Amino acid sequence: MLGKLLDRFFFFQRRKYFIDPELRTRFQKNYTILKKILGFTPRNKSYFIKALTHSSYLELYPELSKSNERLEFLGDSVLSMIVANHLFENYKNEEEGFLTKSRAALVNREHLYTAAQEIGLDKIILYNEKYLRDSIEGMQTIFSDGLEALIGAIYLDQGLSKAKEFVIERIIKPYEVNQNFLIDTNYKGQLLEYAHSKKLHTPRYIIRSEEGPPHKKEFTIDVFLGNELLGTGSGNNKKRAEQEASMNAMQKLKAEE
């Protein structure tokens, strides 16, 4: 039974590949866990095996010619459409700005990474651990992309209705409970809006320091309005450091009001 199942998963692959007992066991275990996550039995199992296979895993098993990249592309669009429709239908009194920010908060990498962890997807996605290099960003990318690929697989296998059900239950509702998605964490955008509304200079971000090896950098960045230093932030990439600097700047500006 398992041999036939794997034949269907990878019918373009060479027959000798299927004698790898370690890989057989891993697929079987992951597929069993996935069915519990989904709450249904897939019609076309190959979609879901591909959804769980990150491109970096092909470096370990070059016999696998397909990863989850195409499904991730599809799932990204399906997710965005479902989230947009949900917000439009359920927040009728909110303006376009609220809807745009809320959608961005619900589909960003950090939130999808958290959702993937909460449903246990991070334990069954196949990837090459060397790809991560101790990087939280690498993990976020792999698992958030994997979740989008899974949504693409559900859409192809079960249709839009089932994909919508999965997205609402697994991605939207957990954040609606405590309204986390309503919190605007784009502090850089907030600072820019504040500066424009007060007719101030456009915020400038200056790198104070850059330390660590290439795969594990730590940036410290200052943000200025004109010549005034308003905040400093640190992070393992420039974007994260700029966001922290902007958050500290906004806190300072609000305290001075």
**Residue 135: CB partners within 8 Å, gap ≥ 6?**
215, 216, 236
Q: How many other C-beta atoms are found inside a 10 Å radius of the C-beta of residue 157?
A: 19
The whole-number average pLDDT for the span 34-58 is 86
- For position 13, what pLDDT does the model report? 41
Q: In what order do the strands lie in the sheet with 218-225?
A: 204-211, 218-225, 228-235
- What b/e readout covers 173-206, taking b as 16+ CB neighbours within 10 angstroms? ebbeeeeebeeebbbbebbeebbeeeeeeebebe
Give me the long-range contacts of 81-88 (CB less than 8 A, separation at least 24).
82/163, 82/164, 82/167, 82/168, 83/107, 83/167, 83/171, 83/172, 86/167, 86/168, 86/172
What domains lie within the chain, and their CATH numbers?
A: 2-182 (1.10.1520.10), 187-256 (3.30.160.20)
Q: Which residue has the higher pLDDT, 62 or 237?
A: 237
pLDDT at 137: 76
- Average pLDDT score over residue span 23-33: 80
What is the per-residue pLDDT for 144?
A: 93
Sign of the torsion formed by the C-alpha atoms of 47, 51, 55 and 61 = negative
Indicate if 7 belongs to the active site: no
pLDDT-derived band at 40 (thresholds 50, 70, 90) equals: very high
The two three-digit tokens of residue 89, written as one number: 């239908």
pLDDT tens sequence across 88-115: 999 888 888 889 888 988 998 888 999 9
If you average pLDDT over residues 145-151, what whole number do you get?
A: 95
Q: What's residue 94's pLDDT? A: 85
Report how far residue 127's alpha carbon sits from residue 149's, in angstroms, rounded to the nearest whole number: 14
**% of residues, the chain, pLDDT over 70:** 82
Q: Which of 76, 222, 242, 244 is catalytic?
A: 76
Is 233's pLDDT higher than 60? yes
Q: What is the mean pLDDT of the chain?
A: 83
145 belongs to the catalytic site: no
pTM here? 0.68
Please say whether the beta carbons of 59 and 127 come within 8 A: no
**String of b and e for 5-38 (b: at least 16 CB within 10 Å)?**
ebeebbeebeeeebeeeebbeebeebbeebeeeb
Report the alpha-carbon distance of residue 56 to residue 67 in Å, rounded.
Answer: 8
Specify the pLDDT at position 193: 87
What is the structure's pLDDT at 32?
87
> Residue 18: pLDDT above 50?
no
Q: Which two tokens stand for residue 176?
A: 């609606």
Question: Is the pLDDT score of 133 beyond 80?
Answer: no
Of 72, 145, 148, 242, which is the active-site residue? 148
Per-residue pLDDT band at 30 (split at 50, 70, 90)? confident
pLDDT of residue 171: 92
pLDDT band for position 3 (cuts 50, 70, 90): very low
Q: Flag whether pLDDT at 16 surpasses 60.
A: no
Instruction: Provide DSSP, 90-147.
Output: H-TT--HHHHHHHHHHHHSHHHHHHHHHHHTGGGT-B--GGGTTT-HHHHHHHHHHHH
pLDDT over 90 percentage in the chain: 39
